[in-house]
Chain A
C-alpha cells in the first residue's frame, strides 16, 4: 500500500462512521481496488507460464484422463442400432427384433465404407473376446447382403449375432460414457447381475496397485537408511572432501538409467559377479546360488540405487544449514552423544527427510523401466501394465483409468502426509 492512502485514511472525517480515502471513496473499497490492481499485475506477469503449463501439461493430462470414461465410439459408429436397441430388454431370452438387425445393416454399410467398423470391434473386444473378429468378419459380408430378412443373414455371416451375450455387450456399452474402464482397472466387471469382481484367475490390477505402494515404501525406507549417513558425512566433512564425495553421489546421476540397470543385472544374476564371489569365498554352494534378480529383491536394490541421490541431496542441503552450536549446546548441558543427536540434531533434519521421502516415493510409484528390466514377474509395477496398454494393446481407456487411480492415490497420500507431517515442513534446501 502506498503511504498516500494511509495518510488519507487517517485524515478522513468520520461523520458517517465510514473511513474514507482522499478521493472520498470508502477506505475498504480503495484498499480492495489497490490490492486487485496488484494481483492483476502479478497475474499478468505469470500468465505466460501459466498458459504454457495449461496448454502443454494440464490439458494433455486432462484429455488423457478423460479417455477413461469416454465411450462415444459405439454411438458414433452404429447410431441407428443403439437407438433401436433401446427397446430391447437385455434380460429377455429373445434376440433383438428384425428392426435392430436392419438398423445394424444400415449402420455397418456406412461404417464399412469409412473403414471404422473394425475400430468399434477392437473397442468392444476389450469387454468381450471375439468382438473384433466378429466385426471384421461381418464387415466383409455386409455389402453382399440382400434386402430384408437381415437377422438370418447376419447369423449366417457369423453365428455370434445369434448369441444374446453379443447384444447385451453392445447395449451395455452403448452409452457415451462408461464406467467399464474403471471397473476393469479395479478387477471388477459389470455383468447382467450387476457389478462384481472378476474371476480369480483374471484379477491383476489390485495386486499390482498394492505391490507398487508397498515396494515404493520399501524403496523409500531403504533410500533413507542408506542416504542419511552419507548426507550426514557430506555435511560434516571439510569442504574439499565433501565436494569430492558429492561428485561421487552425483556421478551415477549423470549416467544413463539403462546403463545402471544393466550393470545391476551383471552384478546380481546367478552367474553374476556377486554370486561368483560368494561361491569363491565359499559362503554359498555352487548349486545354491542366490536369486537376486528378476524378482522383488532385484527391483528394490536397483531402484534404491537409482533413486538414492534424490534422498541424499535434500537431506544434505538441510543438514548443511543446521548450526553445529545446537549440538554443542546440548552437550555442554550434559547430553550424551546419542541424546544430542536424537533429541536435538535429528528433529532439525525432518524437513529434509520429508522432502527426500516424498521425492523418492513419488518417483518410484511411477517407475517403469527398471522394474521392467530387473523385476521379472513378481517385481513389476502398475506402470508396466499402463505402458503395456498404451503401447501394445492400445486399450488407452484402461490405461487412462489406471493412471487416474494412480494419480488419485498419490494425491491422497500427499494429503495424508500434509495432515501428519505438514507440507510447510518440507525443505529442499
Chain B
C-alpha cells in the first residue's frame, strides 16, 4: 500500500514535472493532498501576476485545479463568518499585513513555522532570515513589498513649471494649488501630516499616541481638508489623476506604474516618504488535513526565491525575500527593466517611512473614530 502510493506519487510528479523541468525539478511530491485548491486574492493586475508567476507553474507541475476567489478585500470578515459556521472553503488567502495580524489575533489564521514550512534561499539562508523583519506576524508569509506613495500631474499650469520634490508639497497649497486625493483612513495620512509639521521620523508614533499629537496631525490635515478628495479603492487616484480631477494623490505604487508606463499619462511618481506595506499569504485555521497539506505545499513553492522574483515581471511590487531582489528581470510585455520601478530600489527608497503594524493594531479603532469624527465635521 505504502509502496504503491509512493510509486504513484513519483509517477505523477515525473509526468507533470517534465514540461517545466527547468523550474520545478526539485518540487517534492505532495502526499495526502487535495486535488483542488481555492486561492483568494484581490483580482485585477495583481491577481494576474500571481496567476502567471505562482499558480500556473504550480498547476503545471502538480496537476492541481486552482480556483480563484476575488475576495481579499473582505477576507477578514468572511473568514470569521466561515470559521463561525464551521465551513472554511478557502485554502490560501492573500491579505495585507495588518489584516494578517488581525486574523492571527482572532485565531482565524494558522501559525506558520518558517524554518520547516517555507523554502530556504538557494544559498542556504533560512527562510526566517531571508524574509527577516518582514515576518510581522506568526501567521503571515510575505510575498511583496508595496508602497503607498504620491503621483502628480506634470502639466499643471498653476505650478509654473515647479515639480513637487518632497512629501510636504502635498500640504503646500500656495506652491502647488489644486485638489489632492488621500485615502479615507487615518493610516499614513496622520504620519505624513506630522512629518510635514516638523515631527522627526522616529518620534511620529510617540507623538501620535498622545491626544495633542492626534490634534496636531488633524490640524495639519485641516489646512488642506477642503481641497481633498478621499478615496477608498486603490483604483480611484489613478482615475482622478488621469481625469485631471486631482493634481496630486496617494495610491499604491503599482497602480501609478500602470498609469505612467502602461497608459502613458502625464503623471510622475513622488517617492519621498513612501510608506512600505506588505502583502502575503495566510492559511486559514481549521482546514482538513488533505487541504492543509495542499496549501502548505503550494505556499512553500509559491514563496521560494525564484517565484517571488518571477512575480515582478508582471507588476512593479518588490519581492519580500532579500534573495529574490537580484533575480528581478524585465517586464513581461513592456520589456522595460523592472528594478528601477520597485519601491525598494535604492533610488526610490532614499526616504521611506516604516509603517508600525503593531502600533496600528493597538490604536486603529481609537484613531479611526477620531479621524472619522474629524472627517464628518
A116: B residues at CB distance < 8 A: 107
From known contacts A119-B105, A394-B77, infer whether A126 and B373 are also in contact, taking CB-CB under 8 Å.
no
A391 close to B184 (CB less than 8 A): no
- Tell me how far the C-beta of B170 lies from the nearest C-beta in chain A, rounded to whole angstroms: 18
CB distance from B215 to the nearest CB of A (A): 8
Known: A130-B363, A394-B106. A202 touches B370 (CB 8 A): yes
Query: What is the predominant secondary structure among interface residues of chain B facing chain A?
Result: helix
Q: Are B107 and A119 in contact (CB under 8 A)?
A: yes
Q: Min CB distance, B342 to chain A, in Å?
A: 28
Q: A122 to B230: give the CA distance in the assembly, Å.
A: 28
> B184 is contacted by which of A118, A377, A378 (Cβ under 8 Å)?
A377
Which of chain B's residues has its CB closest to A395's CB? B365
Give chain A residues whose Cβ lies under 8 Å from the Cβ of B105.
118-119, 121-122, 132, 136
CB-based nearest B residue for A134: B362
Nearest Cβ in chain A — how far from B234, in angstroms?
Answer: 14
Does A176 reach chain B (CB closer than 8 Å)? no
Q: Which residues of B contact A294 (CB under 8 A)?
A: 229-230
| One of A115, A133, A376, A378 near B362 (C-beta < 8 A) | A133
Given contacts A119-B107, A122-B106, contact A132 B245 (CB under 8 A): no
The answer to whether B368 touches A393, judged by C-beta atoms less than 8 angstroms apart, is: yes
Cβ contact within 8 Å between B76 and A394:
yes
Asked if B5 CB lies within 8 Å of chain A CBs, one says no
Query: Which range contains the number of B residues in contact with the other chain?
Result: 35 or more
Interface pair B369/A204, CB less than 8 Å apart: yes
Question: Is A269's beta carbon under 8 Å from chain B?
Answer: yes
A238 interfacial by beta-carbon distance below 8 Å: no
Using an 8 Å CB-CB cutoff, how does the interface string of B349-371 with A read, 1 for contact, 0 for none?
00000000011011111101110
CA distance A187 to B167 in the complex (A): 35
Residue on A nearest B225 in the bound complex, by CB: A377
Q: Which residue of A lies closest to B106 (CB)?
A: A119
Interface presence of A270 (CB below 8 A): yes
Tell me if A56 counts as interface (CB < 8 A to partner B).
no
Q: B373 contacts A133, CB within 8 Å?
A: no
B52 at the interface (CB under 8 A from A): no
Complex interface residues of chain B between 213 and 265 (CB less than 8 A to chain A): 214-215, 218, 229-230, 232, 243-245
Within 8 A of B (CB), among A384-413: 385, 390-396
* Cβ–Cβ < 8 Å partners of A385 in chain B: 372
Is B162 an interface position by the 8 A CB rule? no
For B370, list chain A residues within 8 Å (CB): 201-202
Interface string of A7-24 (1 = CB under 8 A from B): 000000000000000000
**Chain B proximity mask over A80-119: 1 for CB below 8 Å, otherwise 0:** 0000000000000000000000000000000000111011
Contact B358 A133 (CB under 8 A): yes
Please give, as numbers and ranges, the residues of chain B lying within 8 Å of A118 by CB-CB distance. Answer: 104-107
CB distance from A297 to the nearest CB of B (A): 14
How many angstroms from the CA of A136 to the CA of B361 in the assembled complex?
10
Selected contact of B245 from candidates A130, A202, A271, A391, CB within 8 Å? A271
Q: Does B374 contact A (CB under 8 A)?
A: yes
**In the docked arrangement, what's the CA distance between A359 and B243, Å?**
36
Instruction: Give the residues in chain A near B243, CB-CB below 8 Å.
Output: 269, 271
Q: Are B376 and A377 in contact (CB under 8 A)?
A: yes
B80 lies within 8 A of chain A by Cβ: yes
Q: Is A267 an interface residue (CB 8 A)?
A: no
On whether A207 and B364 interact (CB within 8 A), knowing A132-B105, A201-B370, the answer reads no
Tell me whether A129 and B107 are in contact (CB under 8 A).
no
- In the bound complex, what is the Cα–Cα distance between A202 and B214 (angstroms)? 12
Q: How far is the CA of A407 from the CA of B249 in the complex (A)?
A: 38
Task: Determine whether B296 belongs to the interface, using a CB cutoff of 8 Å to chain A.
Answer: no
Least Cβ–Cβ distance between B214 and chain A, in angstroms: 8
Q: Are A125 and B362 in contact (CB under 8 A)?
A: yes
Expressed in whole angstroms, the Cα–Cα distance for A119 and B80 within the complex equals 12
- Whether a CB of chain A sits under 8 angstroms from the CB of B165 is no
CB neighbours (8 Å) of A126 from chain B are 365
Check if A271 sits within 8 Å of B244, measured CB to CB. yes
Taking the complex as formed, is B111 at the interface, i.e. its CB lies under 8 A from any CB of chain A? yes
B74 at the interface (CB under 8 A from A): yes
Chain B residues positioned under 8 Å from A200 (CB to CB) = 373
Task: Give every chain B residue within 8 A of A270 (Cβ-Cβ).
Answer: 179, 245
Given A114, A129, A136, A393, which contacts B363 in the complex, CB threshold below 8 Å? A129
Chain A residues positioned under 8 Å from B359 (CB to CB): 133
Does B77 contact A378, Cβ atoms closer than 8 Å?
A: no
Write the chain A residue with the least CB distance to B80. A394
Cβ of B375 < 8 Å from any Cβ of A? yes
Q: How far is the CA of A207 from the CA of B77 in the complex (A)?
A: 26
Residues from chain B with Cβ under 8 Å of A204 in the complex: 369, 372-373, 376
Q: Would B76 and A391 count as touching, CB distance under 8 A?
A: yes
| Assembled-state Cα–Cα distance A271/B244 (Å) | 7
Cβ contact of B102, chosen from A122, A207, A372, cutoff 8 A: A122
Q: How far is B373's CA from A294's CA once the two chains are assembled, in angstroms?
A: 17
**Chain B: which residue is nearest A140 at the CB level?**
B138
Q: How far is the CB of A16 from chain B (nearest CB, A)?
A: 63
Q: Considering only CB atoms, which chain A residue lies closest to B372 in the complex?
A: A204
Q: Which of A109-153 contact B (CB under 8 A)?
A: 114-116, 118-119, 121-122, 125-126, 129-133, 136
Nearest CB of B to A263, in Å:
14
A327 proximal to B (CB < 8 A): no
Identify the A interface with B (CB < 8 A).
114-116, 118-119, 121-122, 125-126, 129-133, 136, 200-204, 207-208, 269-271, 294, 372, 376-378, 385, 390-396
Binding site for A on B (CB under 8 A): 73-74, 76-77, 80, 102, 104-107, 111, 179, 184, 214-215, 218, 229-230, 232, 243-245, 358-359, 361-366, 368-370, 372-376
